[in-house]
Structure 1
Amino acid sequence: MKTFLTTLFTVILFSCQNTAQQANLSKEQQEVINADPVAVPMENGMAKAYFASGCFWCVEAIYDSVNGVDDVISGYAGGHTKNPTYESSNTGKTGHAESVEVIYDPEVVSFETLVDVYFASQDVTQVNGQGNDRGSQYRSILFYQNEAQKKIIDEKKSALGAKMNEKIAAEVYPFQKFWIAEDYHQNYERLHPNDGYIRNVSVPRLKRFQAKMPEVLNKNH
Structure 2
Amino acid sequence: MNILKSITIISFSLLLISCFGFTNKKETQPKATYIANQNTKVAYFASGCFWCVEAIFESVNGVEEAVSGYAGGTTLNPSYRSIGTGKTGHAETVAVYYNPDKVSFKTLVTVFFGSQDPTTKNGQHPDYGSQYRSIAFYKTDAEKQIIEKAINQLNKDVYNGKIATEVTKFKKFYKAEEYHQDFERRNPNQGYVKAVSVPRLNKFKKKFPQLLKDDVH
After TM superposition, list the pairs within 5 Å mapping 1:146-185 onto structure 2.
146-164=140-158, 165-185=160-180
| Corresponding residue SS for 2:94 | strand
Q: 1:70 to 1:166 in 2, by over 3 A?
A: same
Does residue 10 of structure 1 match 2:13?
yes
Which whole-Å CA distance do the structure 2 matches of 1:90 and 1:10 have between them? 18
- Contact kept, 8 Å, 1:68 with 1:105, in 2: the verdict is yes
Q: 1:11 to 1:74 in 2, by over 3 A?
A: closer
Which whole-Å CA distance do the structure 2 matches of 1:9 and 1:73 have between them? 28
| Corresponding residue SS for 1:156 | helix
Structure 1 residue 166, shift from structure 2 partner: 3.7
- Contact kept, 8 Å, 2:16 with 2:191, in 1: the verdict is no
Structure 1 residue 158, shift from structure 2 partner: 1.0
Structure 1 partner of 2:214: 219
Structure 2 partner of 1:21: none
Cα RMSD (Å) of the superposition? 1.7
Structure with max Cα Rg: 2
Identity %: 55
Structure 1 residue 45, shift from structure 2 partner: 1.3
Q: 1:8 to 1:191 in 2, by over 3 A?
A: farther
Which whole-Å CA distance do the structure 2 matches of 1:12 and 1:125 have between them? 24
Deviations 1:8-43 (A, max 9, x none): 76345722238xxxxxxxxxxxxxxxxxxxxxxx84
Which whole-Å CA distance do the structure 2 matches of 1:153 and 1:86 have between them? 28
Structure 2 partner of 1:72: 66
Q: Which residue identity is paired with 2:206?
A: A
Give unpaired runs (5+ residues) of structure 1. Answer: 1-6, 19-41
Which whole-Å CA distance do the structure 2 matches of 1:51 and 1:58 have between them? 12
| Count of residues paired in the alignment | 192
Does residue 53 of structure 1 match 2:47?
yes
Which whole-Å CA distance do the structure 2 matches of 1:205 and 1:55 have between them? 11
After TM superposition, list the pairs within 5 Å mapping 1:125-140 onto structure 2.
125-140=119-134
- Contact kept, 8 Å, 1:13 with 1:132, in 2: the verdict is no
| Corresponding residue SS for 1:92 | coil
- Contact kept, 8 Å, 1:57 with 1:202, in 2: the verdict is yes
Structure 1 partner of 2:187: 192
Q: 1:91 to 1:11 in 2, by over 3 A?
A: closer
Does residue 107 of structure 1 match 2:96?
no
